Amino acid sequence: MEHSVHSDVLSIAQSSSTSVKWYRMPDQHDSRSWRARAEECRALAEVFSSPQTRARMLVIAGGYDEMAEAAERRELDLAAGHPPLEKPGNGVQPAKR
């Protein structure tokens, strides 16, 4: 079963006794919004008393950092005049025969 990073963060918060204010995922998927989400997860990690929960929040922050890096590469490509790579349908390439 595949989980999104956001659902992991939300499930951790809901299972915690700590009150946390949640925001919806950013509409913009630019590097700054992903970096901000990573920093939010790092800040939340400091709030939790459970070492396992802290560690999970840091893993989630790392996932957001990876998304920020991918967004930065896209932003650099666009700034250099390279068109974004388009993926047909769900991004799955047909098998070559």
User: Which pLDDT belongs to residue 11?
Assistant: 61
Domain boundaries along the sequence of the chain: 31-82
Contact 29, 37 (CB under 8 A): no
- Its pTM stands at 0.60
User: Which pLDDT belongs to residue 45?
Assistant: 96
pLDDT > 60? residue 3: no
User: Which pLDDT belongs to residue 87?
Assistant: 54
Burial class (CB in 10 A: 0-12, 13-18, 19+), 41: buried
CA separation for the pair 3, 1 (Å, rounded): 7
User: Which pLDDT belongs to residue 93?
Assistant: 54
User: Which pLDDT belongs to residue 6?
Assistant: 55
User: Which pLDDT belongs to residue 1?
Assistant: 37
Would you give the end-to-end CA distance of the chain in angstroms? 30
Tens of pLDDT, residue by residue over 55-96, are 999 999 999 999 999 999 989 988 888 876 655 555 555 555
User: Which pLDDT belongs to residue 78?
Assistant: 87
Burial class (CB in 10 A: 0-12, 13-18, 19+), 33: middle
